[in-house]
Amino acid sequence: MSVTSGSRFIHAEWALLPDGWRQANLFEVDSSGCILSVGSSLNKASDAQLDVVIPGMINVHSHAFQRRLVGRTQRFSKPNDDFWSWRTQMYAEVDGLTPQDQRVGALELYREMVANGYTTVCEFQYAHGAVSRDNAEIPALMADSLIGASKEAGIRQLLLPVLYQQAGIGEQPPTKDQRSFVLDTRVYLGLMDHLFETYGSEASVSIGYAPHSLRAVGYDALSDLIDHRQDNSPDSPLHIHVSEQVREVNECILGTGKRPIEWLYQNFSPNSSWVFIHSTHASRDELNMIIKSGATVGLCPSTEGDLGDGAFPLAEFIQSKGTFGIGTDSNVIVSPVDELRFIDYQARIRARKRNAFAFDGLIGSGTRLYQKALEGGRKASGQPVGRLESGSFFDLVELTTDHPLTADRSPDEVLNAYVYSGGKDVIKSVWMGGKPVG
């Protein structure tokens, strides 16, 4: 039974805390779903008993509508099929997307994310449906549809409405295919005001800023966005696509004389609330800028692999104390362990050795990689998630010890089995805010 009015006490036989594994844990969780205290459960009553628990993963980058492309793009079209040819198919898919379509698709996707162990999603929303770029009504409905879907699915959300205005660096006018993405700066900022006013007090929803990329947003519009953020919500996360493609980097050098990340640091002041999505082709100097400023890199291995983007130098980045999170991006895959497995194996292939990240042997490589992705996700979301500690939301994944992959193993080995060999079949339950989902 509960001892404190409005609180629940939940026992976890093993829990992955910020400082490592601990046995016999008692979590006190308040009515809002926040952890009040973490203590010993020995000889104490509890309202629920869990086995091996880990913080739920944060998905730092999702385009919900792109899940509709799954199965439709995996066909040879031409010898140089790449990101840019895939983008043409993506444009066709978003044309005519309605708020109702968006909600139905997002609900299905978010439920799948929860089933796979994501408890927070950062939704990079640029399917505004804005045939008229002067009208914010449809973009607001598109945003509402995503928030409604996340609430119904039981996943926490950082909604990132996207500013998108041009077809390339140098203020190239948007194409007809891009009409669903484009908003005037005034309308975009009005949309942000509406969302902050409507959802600003909700625990399961937060709002952040997202200039799409340097190819889609010019200097003046980006300056206006950053000024609005500084005046209204300076701590809100700011996410931006950057250096995903070699062509994008080359066009930026031709148009500005600088590489994309280099240009951003020269003209603005990215800090720990900024998230650079992809950064696949960042230079060593640019990665050092990111690390020094405390910004986070958002990696989307399954999408980056699917589109042939390239491989981020994660081993070197980790060794230099860089912070990263993982995202599903186009949602061709929605499992956090698939993303982690992919980036680890990618690093091993590059290094031609197993311990490519040079982790110590105190805990498993899967555990260490999972922890690092949690910390980057926490920063990227701007929310108290990704840790089982006082002041954070009680969002967690309970792993089963009855599966052939996890039976007769230590909790650390259970998590390693989940990361390297398992999936949602190893998940026993998912909790958000102190309550089981589903």
331 lies in the same domain as 416: no
Residue 3, domain member (yes or no): no
Per residue in 19-61, pLDDT tens? 999 999 999 999 999 999 999 999 899 999 999 999 999 999 9
- pTM exceeds 0.75: yes
Residue 128, domain member (yes or no): yes
Please tell me the distance from the alpha carbon of residue 258 to that of residue 267, in angstroms, as a whole number: 11
326 lies in the same domain as 230: yes
Domain that holds residue 415: 8-55+386-436
pLDDT at 1: 36
Please tell me the number of Cα atoms within 13 Å of 152 on its side-chain side.
13
One-letter amino acid of 146: L
303 lies in the same domain as 288: yes
Please tell me which residue in 144, 329, 344, 412 is annotated as part of the active site: 329
Q: Catalytic annotation on 278?
A: yes
pLDDT at 27: 98
**Residues pairing with 435 in the sheet:** 432
Residue 364, domain member (yes or no): yes
260 lies in the same domain as 174: yes
pLDDT at 306: 87
Q: Catalytic annotation on 329?
A: yes
Alpha-carbon 45 to chain mean position: 36
Residue 61, domain member (yes or no): no
Residue 60, domain member (yes or no): no
The strand pair at 156-163 and 118-125 is best described as parallel
Phi, psi dihedral angles at 157 (to 5 degrees): -135, 135
366 lies in the same domain as 229: yes
Residue 250, domain member (yes or no): yes
We report the CATH number of the domain holding residue 266 as 3.20.20.140
Residue 348, domain member (yes or no): yes
Residue of 164, 109, 145 whose CA lies nearest to 328: 109
Residues ≥6 apart with Cβ < 8 Å to 240: 210, 211, 212, 213, 214, 264, 274, 275, 276, 277
pLDDT at 5: 59
375 lies in the same domain as 404: no
pLDDT at 254: 97
234 lies in the same domain as 262: yes
Q: Tokens 């206006």 — which residue?
A: 224
Phi, psi dihedral angles at 190 (to 5 degrees): -65, -40
Residue 293 CB neighbours (<10 A): 15
Residue 70, domain member (yes or no): yes
CA of 348: how far to CAs of 300, 319, 355, in Å? 17, 15, 7
**Ramachandran category for residue 124: left, alpha or beta (phi over 0 → left; psi -120 to 50 → alpha):** beta
Torsion angle, CA of 119/28/391/39, rounded to 10 degrees? -110
**DSSP letter (8 states) at residue 177:** G
pLDDT at 32: 95
Please tell me the distance from the alpha carbon of residue 120 to that of residue 154, in angstroms, as a whole number: 9
Please tell me the distance from the alpha carbon of residue 294 to that of residue 379, in angstroms, as a whole number: 10
User: Could you tell me if 143 and 100 are in contact, meaning their C-beta atoms sit under 8 angstroms apart?
Assistant: no
pLDDT at 6: 81
282 lies in the same domain as 296: yes
274 lies in the same domain as 417: no
Residues ≥6 apart with Cβ < 8 Å to 17: 25, 38, 387, 388, 389
291 lies in the same domain as 406: no
Q: Where are the beta strands (DSSP E) in 93-252?
A: 118-125, 156-163, 205-207, 210-211, 238-242
Residues ≥6 apart with Cβ < 8 Å to 48: 8, 10, 11
pLDDT at 130: 63
pLDDT at 131: 60
Domain boundary among 336, 353, 381: 381
Number of folded domains that form the chain: 2
Please tell me which residue in 63, 278, 281, 403 is annotated as part of the active site: 278
CA of 10: how far to CAs of 40, 41, 385, 404, 435, in Å? 11, 9, 18, 26, 10
Residues across the chain: 438
72 lies in the same domain as 94: yes
91 lies in the same domain as 174: yes
Please tell me the distance from the alpha carbon of residue 51 to that of residue 410, in angstroms, as a whole number: 12
Residues ≥6 apart with Cβ < 8 Å to 62: 109, 113, 121, 122, 123, 124, 327, 328, 329, 331
Divide the 438 residues of the chain into consecutive groups of 10 and give the mean pLDDT of each group: 70 97 98 97 93 98 92 71 74 86 97 98 92 73 97 98 95 90 95 96 96 97 98 98 96 97 98 98 98 98 92 97 97 97 96 94 96 98 98 98 97 98 97 95
We report the CATH number of the domain holding residue 46 as 2.30.40.10
